[in-house]
Amino acid sequence: MSRQLNRNIYPPMISNDSKSHPLTLFRYCPRCGSSHFNINNEKSKRCTDCGFVYYFNPSAATVALITNDRQELLVCRRAKEPAKGMLDLPGGFIDMYETGEEGVRREVKEETGLELISAEYLFSLPNIYEYSGFTVHTLDMFFGCTAADTRSLQAHDDVADTFFLPLNEINPEAFGLASVRKGIGMLLNTLNISPSPKHPS
């Protein structure tokens, strides 16, 4: 399923001679500083002076699926590009030395003010995230989460607004990031809920 997902939703790695390939931004060897840092294959560059090989791997990120006992899902509205103004789910990049569970707890706290009492890994999806003119390939890990007390819910960090939305009113197309759209669709399918045709205002 994941290989089919990659072919259908996400474009293949761009050819090595393209200026838009992420590896073209790495012009010098990070080990010795040599400019002889050449394409090795579609995933890596190799320094011909010191032999160092750098692989362009996806960054790890988290996504929180937080539901309550009223069959509602916590959603956010993005305050920044990419997809500014569109819906999103709480989450973000994992810091060094963090576990996925620690990362999702931290991101939810930073963006919504909520403390999680549970975070259970569900599935992962690849994504492409444009940041500061750089194409970041990510592996987004989705967690089913429960918050301790939602009364402290408030938008923070790069979130413009956050609120609970009934699951039967959710339209995956209202979400700005490809992996989140796919993940929302998978959640609704698992719960046997048809996506709503309406976009929330």
Q: What is the pTM of this model?
A: 0.86
Mean pLDDT of the region 176-180: 97
Give the DSSP letter of residue 58: P
Verify that 73 and 23 share a domain, yes or no: no
For 15-57, what is each residue's pLDDT tens digit?
334 456 788 889 999 999 999 999 999 899 999 999 999 999 9
Structural element, H or E, at residue 105: helix 100-112
Residue 127 forms part of a structural domain: yes
pLDDT at 3: 33
Contact 104, 110 (CB under 8 A): no
Q: 78-82, 129-133, 173-177, 188-192 — which is least confidently predicted?
A: 129-133
pLDDT at 91 over 90: yes
pLDDT at 145 over 90: yes
pLDDT at 201: 54
- 83 in helix, strand or coil? coil
- State which residues form the domain around 141: 59-190
pLDDT band at 137 (very low <50, low <70, confident <90, very high): very high
The mean of the pLDDT values for the chain is 89
Q: How far apart are CA 139 and CA 93, in angstroms?
A: 10
Q: 23-27, 67-71, 74-78, 123-127 — which is least confidently predicted?
A: 23-27
Verify that 79 and 176 share a domain, yes or no: yes
**132 or 44, higher pLDDT:** 44
Residue 79 forms part of a structural domain: yes
pLDDT at 169: 95
pLDDT at 58: 94
Please give the structure tokens belonging to residue 200.
Answer: 């929330």
Give the DSSP letter of residue 72: E
CATH number of the domain where residue 185 is located: 3.90.79.10
pLDDT at 6: 38
Residue 198 forms part of a structural domain: no
Verify that 168 and 182 share a domain, yes or no: yes
Residues 20, 24, 25: CA angle, nearest 5 degrees: 100
Contact 50, 66 (CB under 8 A): no
For 191-200, what is each residue's pLDDT tens digit?
999 888 766 5
Residues near 8 by beta carbon (within 8 Å), at least 6 away in sequence: none
Verify that 72 and 169 share a domain, yes or no: yes
pLDDT at 54: 96
Q: 143-147, 183-187, 192-196 — which is least confidently predicted?
A: 192-196
Verify that 87 and 156 share a domain, yes or no: yes
State the total domains in the chain. Answer: 2
Rg for the chain (alpha carbons), in Å?
19
Residue 196 forms part of a structural domain: no
Residues near 90 by beta carbon (within 8 Å), at least 6 away in sequence: 63, 64, 66, 74, 76, 104, 107, 108, 111, 112, 159, 162
Pairing of strands 91-93, 59-66: antiparallel
Mean pLDDT of the region 163-177: 96
